[in-house]
């Protein structure tokens, strides 16, 4: 089972304070009010950016171990330019995205407007090299691809 990263991440939920002011990378888009859970709105959100994630909590302080795992995986690949939506800020968004994706849980990851899955799937894709490949197809070069070639550079 690939639960160990999740368990370590869950332990990090004891953070008392946020890791620092401001955003460190991904642009947190504020979900607009009114119809934020509608399929038209969500359609627009998942198409607007190549990498879109829906999390519980902001990326600098996820409120859930699984959401944190997604954030850490993206950070490992040095993906900085991605859209992130905090469902805890907006109950309509939280319900809406579950219906839209037909997926019962958060976090949710979209690549190139397509639903990829939740934390489990992203983790498996990360571990088996599929994530690096999918990102490459989107024109995003994961730093893990470079590290594989450059193992002595540290």
- Residues in contact with other proteins by CB under 8 A are 1-3, 6-7, 10, 64-66, 102-105, 115-121, 124-125
- Please choose, from the candidates 132, 92, 93, the residue with its C-alpha nearest in 3D space to the C-alpha of residue 111: 132
3-state DSSP helix/strand/coil percent for the chain, to nearest 5?
45, 10, 40
CB of 114 to other proteins, least distance (A): 9
Identity of the residue, 8 or 23, whose beta carbon is nearer to other proteins in the bound complex: 8
Identity of the residue, 25 or 117, whose beta carbon is nearer to other proteins in the bound complex: 117
Distance set, CA 17 to CA 6, 12, 62, 74 (Å): 20, 11, 11, 22
Strand order in the sheet with 83-86: 27-28, 83-86, 51-55, 108-111, 114-117
CB of 152 to other proteins, least distance (A): 28
CB of 134 to other proteins, least distance (A): 12
CB of 66 to other proteins, least distance (A): 7
Identity of the residue, 102 or 153, whose beta carbon is nearer to other proteins in the bound complex: 102
């Amino acid at each position: 089972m690939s639960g160990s990263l999740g368990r370590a991440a869950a332990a990090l939920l004891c953070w008392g304070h946020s890791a620092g002011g401001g955003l460190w990378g991904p642009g947190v888009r504020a979900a607009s009010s009114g119809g934020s859970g509608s399929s038209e709105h969500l359609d627009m959100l998942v198409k607007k950016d190549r990498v879109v994630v829906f999390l519980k909590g902001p990326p600098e302080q996820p409120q859930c171990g699984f959401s944190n795992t997604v954030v850490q995986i993206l950070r490992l690949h040095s993906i900085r330019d991605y859209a992130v939506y905090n469902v805890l800020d907006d109950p309509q968004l939280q319900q809406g995205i579950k219906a839209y994706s037909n997926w019962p849980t958060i976090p949710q990851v979209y690549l190139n407007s397509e639903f990829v899955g939740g934390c489990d799937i992203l983790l498996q894709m990360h571990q088996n090299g599929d994530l690096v490949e999918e990102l490459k197809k989107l024109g995003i070069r994961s730093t893990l691809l470079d590290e594989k070639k450059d193992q002595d550079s540290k």
